Amino acid sequence: MSRNRQVLWPFFSGVLLTTLLAACGPPGGGNSEGDALAGKVVLTGSSTIAPLMTEIAQRFEARHPRARIDVQTGGSSRGIADAGSGLADIGMSSRGLTTEEAAGLEAHTLAFDGVAFVVHGSNPVESLTDEQLLALYTGQVEDWSALGGKAGPITVVHRAAGRSEVELVAAYFGIEPEAIQADLISGENQHAIKTVAGDPNAIVYVSLGAAQRAAAEGQPVKLLPLRGIAATVEAVAATVGETYPLARPLLLLTAKGTALSPLAQAFLDFARSAENDDLIEALAYVPPPR
């Protein structure tokens, strides 16, 4: 019993110490130099955009020490709902708005994200035509040998209903999302990428930026070109010449008719400025054309 106490006291005090240290913490604010921008701004919404907005928020807070920008997740629908109801100052959405939703909201484009078709790195197939992809995704082709690859059953990986990638791909092929015949369904981007990385026969469509980053880090995934255009962040960004055909906008939403607080407006303007292009590119998204 006493031996336990000797061992446990350090842990106990360590935990207490951490907590107390935190309570003493860095003084909030520092020298404000009469900085008028103070207060709190709340953003909620897409978990795809959240990491990027957290970085932008940190940069903003470094310049305006009395401002606090809280970025929360909860999904695109949450962002849309909260921006409309006022629970959040700014909403983040990686999917487009329905006509109903668009009625009350203003959408500002933060960045673009391409959608790429990704196969395993060892898959000998180098590219697929639109018709081949459509046949694959509607279950008409079931083996890689029919597409010029090594014989093996195709593992068609689809995404969760309601995601913007699903709507985008379905629209691109001119079909309804229900027509897609899937073998597996993945959730977030990394889940989809890991699924493909673990299965030489799999194919999935996923955020181009995320896939490109994964490939660069050595994961065994390969991005397929679409209509002959290589699936790269540059191709999505190209405004002259051949632009990669599948891209979705990442949106910041504000309520129509209600003015934002000066802090929130300042933050919104800052977030959309060209200053943050480096942060956007670090997460493999594409800055909007300026």
Partner 1 sequence: MAAGAVVLLIVAFLIRESVPALSTIGIGRFLHDPSWHPAGEASAGTFNLVPMLVGTLYLSLGALLLAVPAGVASAVFCQFYAPGRVAAVYRRSMELLAGVPSVVYGFWGLVTLVPLIRRLEPPGQSLLAGILILALMVLPTVALTAVAALAAVPRSYLQGAAALGLGRWATARRVALPAALPGILSGALLAAARAVGETMAVLMVCGNLVQVPSSLFDPVRALTANIALEMGYATAQHRSALFVSGLVLIVVIALLMALVERWGERADA
Partner 2 sequence: MPEVRRGPDRLAALALWGIALGVMGTLGWILVDLLRFGLGGVSWSFLTEAPRDAGRAGGIGPILVSTVWILAVSLVVAVPLGVGCAAYLAEWAPTGAPLGRAVRRSLDLLAAVPSIVFGLFGMVFFSQILGLGFSILAGGLTLACMVLPILIRATEAGFRSAPQELRRGAAALGLSRGAALRHLLLPAAVPGLVVGLVLGIGRALAETAALIFTSGYVTRMPSSLLDSGRALSVHIYDLAMNVPGGEGNAYATALVLIVLLMAINGTASWAAEAWLGKGWTR
Q: Where along the sequence are the contacts to partner 1 (CB under 8 A)?
A: 46-47, 74-78, 95, 98, 101, 153, 155, 160-164, 177-178, 182-187, 191, 194-195, 198-199, 201-202
Instruction: Choose between 125 and 260: whose C-beta lies nearer to partner 1.
Output: 125
DSSP symbol at 143: B
Place of tokens 């995404």: 159
Q: Which of 2, 3, 25, 62 binds partner 2 (CB under 8 A)?
A: 25
Q: How far is Cα 161 from Cα 146, in angstroms, rounded to an integer?
A: 28
Q: Which of 249, 284, 286, 287 binds partner 2 (CB under 8 A)?
A: 284
Among partner 1, partner 2, none, the one that 26 touches (CB under a kind-dependent 5 to 8 A) is partner 2
3-state secondary structure of 214: helix
- Residue 29 within binding range of partner 2, rule CB under 8 A: no
Query: Which residue type is seen at 183?
Result: D
Instruction: Choose between 64 and 128: whose C-beta lies nearer to partner 2.
Output: 64
Phi (first) and psi of residue 44, to 5 degrees: -135, 160
3-state secondary structure of 107: strand
Residues 203-222 that bind partner 2 (CB under 8 A): 209-210, 213-214, 217
- Residue 188 within binding range of partner 2, rule CB under 8 A: yes
Among partner 1, partner 2, none, the one that 30 touches (CB under a kind-dependent 5 to 8 A) is none
Q: How far is Cα 93 from Cα 90, in angstroms, rounded to an integer?
A: 10
Among partner 2, partner 1, none, the one that 136 touches (CB under a kind-dependent 5 to 8 A) is none
Among partner 2, partner 1, none, the one that 277 touches (CB under a kind-dependent 5 to 8 A) is none
**Smallest distance, partner 2 to C-beta of residue 24, A:** 10
Q: How far is Cα 226 from Cα 223, in angstroms, rounded to an integer?
A: 9
Which residues, including other chains, have CB under 8 Å from residue 73's CB and lie 6 or more apart?
44, 45, 46, 47, 50
Q: Which of 15, 36, 160, 171 binds partner 2 (CB under 8 A)?
A: 15
Which residues, including other chains, have CB under 8 Å from residue 266's CB and lie 6 or more apart?
37, 64
Instruction: Choose between 5 and 290: whose C-beta lies nearer to partner 2.
Output: 5
Torsion of CA 230, 236, 242, 246, to 10 degrees: 80
Instruction: Choose between 25 and 228: whose C-beta lies nearer to partner 2.
Output: 25
Q: How far is Cα 182 from Cα 138, in angstroms, rounded to an integer?
A: 8
Residue in 75, 86, 71 with CA at minimum distance from that of residue 46: 75
Binding mask 145-184 for partner 2 (x = CB under 8 A): ----------------------------------------
Torsion of CA 135, 154, 222, 198, to 10 degrees: 150
Binding site for partner 2 (CB under 8 A): 1, 4-5, 7-8, 11-12, 14-15, 18-19, 21-23, 25-26, 28, 42, 47-48, 50-52, 54-55, 58, 68, 70-74, 87, 187-191, 209-210, 213-214, 217, 282-284
